[in-house]
Amino acid sequence: MAGKNVLTITEENFEQEVLNSEVPVLIDFWAAWCAPCRMIAPTIDELADEFGGKVKVGKVNVDEQPELASAFKVMSIPTVALTKGNEVIMQSIGVKPKDALKQEIESKIKTA
């Protein structure tokens, strides 16, 4: 379930929303059956609100979009990836505290 500022990313909108994005895109790879994914979901929603305009935030359901998960070499979930164009500039696996994740993202978007 995505928050109000969180996109659902699919193969159909991937090029438009991620590859052609003017700003870096934070992608949360998740699945409905994944308890840690549900734990990190509120953090992702909060980051979407806090980074509004500077970073686009989206979610990829790995069960519905296995090709995207494979393209990002996602082996375990939750995996959070920060992209700029077609380049992954940060990847985080597992649940992390919001402040730690926010700090990682901020350090990457300053140099992106």
Q: What is the mean pLDDT of the chain?
A: 94
What pLDDT does 2 receive? 58
User: pLDDT by residue (tens digit) across 37-88?
Assistant: 999 999 999 999 999 889 999 999 999 999 999 999 999 999 999 999 999 9
What is the arithmetic mean of pLDDT over 4-32?
95
Active site residue 34: yes
**CATH class label, 6-104:** alpha beta
103 catalytic? Reply is: no
Catalytic-role residue among 9, 37, 41, 47: 37
Which of these, 15, 16, 17, 20, lies nearest to 7 by C-alpha position? 17
The catalytically annotated residue of 7, 31, 34, 112 is: 34
Beta bridge partners of 90: 82
Please tell me the pTM assigned to this model: 0.94
